Amino acid sequence: MTESLKVDMIACDGHGLCAELLPELVGLDEWGYPIVSDHPVPQELRKHARKAVNLCPKLALTLKKVSAPGG
């Protein structure tokens, strides 16, 4: 199992903290809302991804378990 970042766009207020904490995986659109890929979070960034999830002011960022390709 791997994990992927997900954003609840209804809950998100566009604070941008996730992009500051995890610029490798989170970009911001023109209004300051996060853009995340549905690709799995690389092992070397999982600690940083969990920190971004835990520090999200609106709890809009989560890590979801996903099946590995072919598995």
Kindly state the tokens that stand for 1: 């199992």
Q: How far apart, in Å, do the first and last CA atoms of the chain sit?
A: 9
pTM (two decimals):
0.88
Q: Mean of the pLDDT values across residues 55-63?
A: 97
Q: Give the pLDDT confidence score for residue 71 in this predicted structure.
A: 53
| Sequential DSSP letters for the chain | -EEEEEE-TTT-----HHHHH-TTTEEE-TTS-EEE-SSPPPGGGHHHHHHHHHH-TTS-EEEEEEPPTT-
Indicate whether 69 pLDDT > 80: no
pLDDT, one tens digit per residue, over 10-35 is 999 999 999 999 999 999 999 999 99
Structural domains in the chain plus CATH codes: 2-66 (3.30.70.20)
Q: Give the pLDDT confidence score for residue 67 in this predicted structure.
A: 80
Residues 41 and 18: beta-carbon distance below 8 Å: no
